[in-house]
Amino acid sequence: SAELPRERLEPAAGEEWPEAEKAEKLARGAALKWASAVFYCPDKLEGLGHYRSREAQRTSSIQSRLKSTVQSHLEGVSSGLEQLSSAAGDVRSVRRDLCAVRWHLLGSAEGFQGLAPLRAVVTEHRQLAAVVRALPQLSSVHELLAQSLRLLRGQQLLEAHAGLMALERLRDDISSQLHCGSSLPTDQALGVVESFFGGLQELSDALAQQLWHVVAGGVRLVQEDPALFVSAVRIIEREESADDALLLGPPWRQRFYQVMQETIAAAHFKAAHVDVKGPGLGQHLAALQSDIPAELRVVKDLMVQCCPPHYDILSICTRMYHQGLSDHLQDILSRDLDKQEIFMLLSWVLHVYHSPEMMGHPDLLPEVDVSTLGPLVSPEVVEQLERKYVGKVKASVTEWMRRTLEVEFKEWFREEEPEMDHLGFFQSALPVIVMQVGRAGGWGQRRAGDWQCPVRGQRRAGDWQLPVQDKLLQTGQLQPKAGVFPPLRQTKPFLLAESEHLVMNHYVRALMEKKMVCRSAEERSQLSTQLLQDASQLRELFHSLGLAESEQTLEVIVALQELIRLQDPALLSLEVLGFMTKYPDISDEHVSILLDLRGDVSKEVRNVVLEMMAQNPQSLPENYQPIFSNILVPAPELPFCLRKAKCA
């Protein structure tokens, strides 16, 4: 049986394999090609015998290797057939044995049923053995519960939590041992264990309540008792580690953040506890401006050290305050606010919130950056509030002007003559009243001394002739007497020119009064650039209001920046001389302040400049509009002297 049939290795009689025939043809062709190439020359024919013998040896070697290969394959096939035959016999033997065992078990089934009472006894014995092993621990359950409650009342959270975890492990161990092979129903066994550990749930609830109470007072505790807050955080970390081991989600940290957010909202943003009408709104915004940065400083300086780095507590708290404040403002803005309340909210949102007095405080930067959290109030809501505010102001001013003009109209029709000024012309108090109302508005937050009159200087009453008077005169409803000075000019260009001159005057005065010194050429360049930008913006502003650039005096700011930008201090005398020619009312005190502002002028250069000014006095042209004459130079500080000592 080990020999293969001959017909599988050789073709049938009178039949050849096509592969062998093809291989033989290829071999003959290759041999003829090689022979024709080798014996092409006659002198190569002498080695024909040598080539014949070598090829004969090669052919014999190839045939030997072929026979050896075929023989090895035949031996392997024979061995495989023998192993298959042996395996088939083994399988038949195992099948017979399995059938015998099956029939034997079927005959013994009734005997195994009698072992059921023994199995129950073994299970009961195992449970009793587990209870006996756990008796020392079970006897101390009530004592551990009482001890953990005492620790919790004493705010020893870590020790109380350790006792709670030990009791939970003991309960779980006993439950698993009782359930292992128990004949009792699962619910019944669980009820027995839970009844014995009934106080464990009370301890767990009390600990959770105390834990979240500590978290809620975190901002206060990190200043007064940081150890208690750290204990609460460590308990949360323990519980998260236990949940990770059980492949549960991490709700503990989310609950931590939720409690903090609820505490922040309850402390600052609950509308039920906030009076947001009238003065109450201003007080509430002032409290937010003070409390929020103060609490964020506590979080930044103290709470960050009490929490693990992956809590990212500062960023989370910043987002909580920002989002809570945004929602709170949305709730306030949804109410019916008057124009003063709208103005107060807009000013607070747009100017106070990001200012150094609140979220841009130096103590919070750079860790706290609310600019990355989006706007506190959306631009659409801001635009809507601005329109609403402007509408309310327009309606209020319109109503007030209507009533005021009605009173003025009645005054002009009185039989009695109006009041007269010192020149004998009739005057009206309406312009003064209008300017007083303007001072109460949003744009009129100026010092009273700057607005005693509509513009600086004394003007006649006729200069403020009201448009209503012109209309009445034109229609004939009002007959001129009423010593009335006729209208001399349109007031808008004059007001713009006076306003521009006043702005320039205050700007230069602020530059003179501000005690600062440039410490490098770079700072002088920065100051000059800022002066140029301010002058350009102011020129564009007044130009857009209708004041031509030729009528503006802001060019003095550009000239001042040239004195500051000059790189070589030795050329200051020539630069100052040119400046004096253009602005002859500048004094040596003004020049001294500018030289101090540069910060690089030596005493020698200063003396040269001042001597040059003394040698070249300038006279004021006839139509020259004074600039520096109205700017007072601050008095120098006197040296502080003690008694019986020389002054510096």
Per the model's pLDDT, the better-predicted residue between 383 and 171 turns out to be: 383
Read off the DSSP letter of residue 426. Answer: B
Q: What per-residue confidence (pLDDT) applies to 304?
A: 93
Quick one: average pLDDT of 498-502?
86
Most confident region among 241-245, 246-250, 409-413, 572-576 by mean pLDDT: 572-576
Distance CA 210, CA 158 (A): 12
Angle between helices 199-216 and 141-153 (to 10 degrees): 20
Q: What per-residue confidence (pLDDT) applies to 628?
A: 87
CB distance 481 to 445 below 8 Å: no
Per the model's pLDDT, the better-predicted residue between 31 and 543 turns out to be: 543
Distance of CA 628 to the CA centre of its chain: 48
Asked if the peptide bond before residue 486 counts as cis, ω within 30 degrees of 0, the response is no
Least confident of 158-167, 182-191, 324-333: 182-191
Per the model's pLDDT, the better-predicted residue between 42 and 372 turns out to be: 372
Six-digit token pair at 591? 């020049």
Least confident of 80-89, 252-261, 417-426, 562-571: 417-426
Contacts of 181 (CB under 8 A, 6+ apart): 123, 126
CA-to-CA separations, 154 to 150, 223, 561, 566, in angstroms, rounded: 6, 20, 70, 74
Angle at 401 between CA 398 and CA 403, to 5 degrees: 110
Distance CA 377, CA 413 (A): 52
CB distance 134 to 193 below 8 Å: no
Whether the predicted pLDDT of 319 surpasses 90: yes
Q: Residue 635: pLDDT band by 50, 70, 90 thresholds?
A: low
Read off the DSSP letter of residue 275. Answer: -
Per the model's pLDDT, the better-predicted residue between 393 and 452 turns out to be: 393
Q: What per-residue confidence (pLDDT) applies to 188?
A: 55
Pick the closest to residue 197 from 173, 213, 177, 215 (CA basis): 173
Distance CA 222, CA 233 (A): 12
Arithmetic mean of pLDDT over the chain = 79
Q: pLDDT tens-digit profile of 5-32?
A: 444 445 554 555 677 788 888 888 888 8
Question: What is the percentage of the chain residues whose pLDDT exceeds 70?
Answer: 79
Q: What per-residue confidence (pLDDT) applies to 223?
A: 92
DSSP string, 496-529: HHHHHHHHHHHHHHHHHHS-----SHHHHHHHHH
> If DSSP states are collapsed to H, E and C, what string results for 600-624?
CCCHHHHHHHHHHHHHCCCCCCCCC
Whether the predicted pLDDT of 77 surpasses 90: no
